[in-house]
Amino acid sequence: MKQKFVMPGDQLSTSEELMPGDGTFEENGIIRAARIGTYVVDEKHRTAEVKPATSTPVLLKKGDIVIGRVVMAKEKMIIVEVKHVSGKPRSISSDTDATIHVKEIAQGFIKEASSEYKAEDYIRAKVIQVSPSVQLETKERNFGAILALCSKCRHPLIKKSHGLECENCGNKEHRRITEDYGNLDIQHL
C-alpha cells in the first residue's frame, strides 16, 4: 500500500489507473486530493483515497447509532435533537433536528408516540434517513430511552420490575426503554 502526504488539488493518479475514493475527486481524467492528508491506494477496490490529517466533523449517515434528547412528543411523532453519534469523538456538523414517526418506535402497534417518550428523555436510536430530513427509529431492543425524568418532579426515573418509578415522589411512568436503561454514563458515550 503506497502512502504519501498530499495537499488539496495535488494530482494523485488518473481515472484509467484508479477510481476516485474518499477524500478525492476526478477532474478531466485526473484524480486529485480534496483535503490535506495521507494518500493511500486501496488495492482491493482499486481506489485512490486521502485519509484526513485531522479528525473530520461528523455528518449523520444512514445506519448511525445516535443519542438524542426528546424536544417534543406529539401524537404521531417524536421530535429529537441529536446530541451524539456513537463511536465519534467530535460534535455533529450537519442538521441535528430529527423525528421518529409513530410507526418507527416499536415492532408492534403504537397508538400514540407521546405514550412512549416524553420531552427531556434521552434516547438511543438508529438513523434511517438523512435527506431531505433526518429520520430515526427505535424498533430494536437496544434502542429507546436511556434516561427519563419524572413528569411531575423532573427527577430521574429508576428502572424497577414493574416499569419506571421516581424515587423522589413515587410517580410511576411508562417509557420504551433500552435493555441497559440507567446503566449509562451520558458524559462518556
Q: What pLDDT shows up at residue 93?
A: 75
Q: Are residues 91 and 132 in the same domain?
A: yes
Q: How far apart are CA 126 and CA 62, in angstroms?
A: 8
Please give the grid coordinates belonging to residue 34.
480534496
Q: Are residues 46 and 105 in the same domain?
A: no
Instruction: Kindly tell me the sign of the dihedral angle through the C-alpha atoms of 41, 46, 48, 52.
Output: negative
Average of pLDDT values for 182-188? 63
* Domain carrying residue 92: 65-147
Q: Assess whether pLDDT exceeds 90 at residue 75.
A: yes
Q: Are residues 48 and 69 in the same domain?
A: no
Q: Are residues 48 and 72 in the same domain?
A: no
Q: Tell me, what CATH number does 132's domain have?
A: 2.40.50.140
Say how many CA atoms lie within 13 Å of 7 toward its Cβ: 0
Whether 182 is covered by a domain: the verdict is: no
Whether 158 is covered by a domain: the verdict is: no
Q: How far apart are CA 97 and CA 80, in angstroms?
A: 6
Whether 185 is covered by a domain: the verdict is: no
Q: Are residues 48 and 70 in the same domain?
A: no
Q: Are residues 34 and 98 in the same domain?
A: no
Number of independent structural domains in the chain = 2
The alpha carbon torsion through 117, 118, 119, 123 (nearest 10 deg) reads: -30
Q: What pLDDT shows up at residue 49?
A: 93
pLDDT tens by residue, 16-66: 999 999 999 999 999 999 988 899 999 999 999 998 887 777 888 999 999
Q: Are residues 72 and 47 in the same domain?
A: no
Please give the grid coordinates belonging to residue 163.
416499569
